[in-house]
Amino acid sequence: MPRTARRKSESGIYHIMHRGINKQNIFEDRQDYIKMLDLIKGCEEKGGAEIYAYCLMSNHIHLLIKEGKEPIETTIKRLAGGYAYWFNTKYSRSGHLFQDRYRSEPVEDDEYFLTVLRYIHFNPVKAGLCSKPESYQYSSYSEYLNGGGIINGELVKGMLPGKEFEKFHKKENDDSGVELIEKERSRISDEKAARIMRNLTKCQSAEEFQSLEQKKKNALIAKLKDNGLSIRQISRLTGESYYTIQRI
């Protein structure tokens, strides 16, 4: 079957997750982590990408990244390919290192951007690797506190100036719905999803749906989810943001 085309981000910003094949470790020692960070920095220097957040876990990586002068697909392919070549050479192995297709989610609004940022930084905490994000050495959290590193921090600092960055990360939260290996895979086809949307909402387009009163939209979104549509499908068909649907 042909693969589903990736959704393009109008903002150019994506949450990327790339996992080791069969969930195997892609980092064995500190040198491996440092090599990946060097290659991520190269995404900025060679492809013009902007890195807003990252976290390197033992068998996968997370990036909050803005597409640069080259397509995001090219950037991630070069990153994964370069690291796989280096890793295979170092450990005298052959074959694929990463799953054949990385996961990506467009980030279109500030609220969802910050939710993804916090989710990425809390990944090692939720995995039980540390008790607080600043204790993990292979994420961008400490760069925001101490400076240096590879991130482009100006956008986040503008949204969370001064102590607001730490306060935001200390807020009680449940960002688990951000995961990309999830529930985001459609259980029904997009064609069927569109039919269900028209039948349930009596709307023929996202523009028509947007004209409804908010309380009614919320109720209809809940019904669409109950009928098997993914959050991504609902967002595309109704024009509502991913984060708004996630909260509903």
- Please report the pLDDT score of residue 160 as a whole number: 93
Identify whether the C-beta of residue 50 lies closer than 8 Å to the C-beta of residue 99.
no
What pLDDT sits at residue 173?
A: 65
For residue range 7-18, list pLDDT tens digits in order.
788 899 999 999
Q: What is the per-residue pLDDT across 154-207, written as a single tens digit (0 to 9) for each?
A: 999 999 998 999 999 987 666 655 654 344 444 677 788 899 999 999 999 888
- pLDDT, residue 113, reads 93
Residues 82-101, mean pLDDT to the nearest whole number: 92
pLDDT for res 230: 80
Is residue 61 within 8 A of residue 76, CB to CB? The reply is no
Catalogue the E-assigned strands of 67-141. Answer: 103-106
Give Cβ neighbours of residue 146 (< 8 Å, ≥ 6 apart): none
Task: Name the helix (H) or strand (E) containing 63.
Answer: strand 60-66
Exposure of 116 by Cβ count < 10 A (0-12 exposed, 13-18 middle, 19+ buried)?
A: buried
What is the enclosing helix (H) or strand (E) of 54?
strand 50-56
Q: What is the pLDDT of residue 182?
A: 43
Q: What is the mean pLDDT of residues 74-100?
A: 93
pLDDT tier for residue 246 given thresholds of 50, 70 and 90: confident
What integer pLDDT is reported at residue 172 of this predicted model? 62
Give me the pLDDT at residue 2, please: 47
Name which of 219, 218, 223 is nearest 241 in CA terms: 218
Residue 118 has pLDDT above 80, yes or no: yes
State how far the alpha carbon of 177 is from the alpha carbons of 109, 112, 124, 127, in Å.
16, 11, 16, 15
**Residues in contact with 219: Cβ distance below 8 Å, sequence separation at least 6, in sequence order:** none
Distance CA 18, CA 54 (A): 12
Is this model's pTM higher than 0.85 or not? no
User: What pLDDT, on the 0 to 100 scale, is given for residue 222?
Assistant: 87
- The pLDDT tens digits for 201-222 are 999 988 899 999 999 999 999 8
